Amino acid sequence: MVASTYTITVVSEQPPQVYIGDRVGGAEIVELKRKDDELLSSSQLAKIYGISTQTVRRKLAEHNQGSDGKYLYNPLVADSILNPTKTKTRGARRKN
């Protein structure tokens, strides 16, 4: 009997807690790879965050990895800058 190879894709902020040699679903894990992040265009980021492409280009101008015609950004860097839930509050704390 010839063993077949299957690929499982896991998306997570932290690495999964599986190790080589573990058994998952009756199969043994023999290899773990981390997939490199693909670059996203300004239009893709605008669609994800609900803002205009010009706003994306302005906020991420320093992090452009494409040419002037192709605006490409690392999704992790873009998320840290464009995600409104992760922004810090500004100004002094209110004193009651």
Q: Where are the domains of the chain?
A: 40-86
Q: pTM value? A: 0.55
Does residue 95 surpass a pLDDT of 60?
yes
Question: What does the pLDDT look like over 9-66, one tens digit per residue?
Answer: 777 778 788 888 888 888 888 887 777 668 999 999 999 899 999 999 999 999 999 8
Sign of CA dihedral 87, 91, 93, 96: negative
**CA angle 65–70–71, rounded 5-degree value:** 55
In angstroms, the CA 54 to CA 41 distance is 12
List CB contacts of 47: < 8 A, sequence separation 6 or more.
none
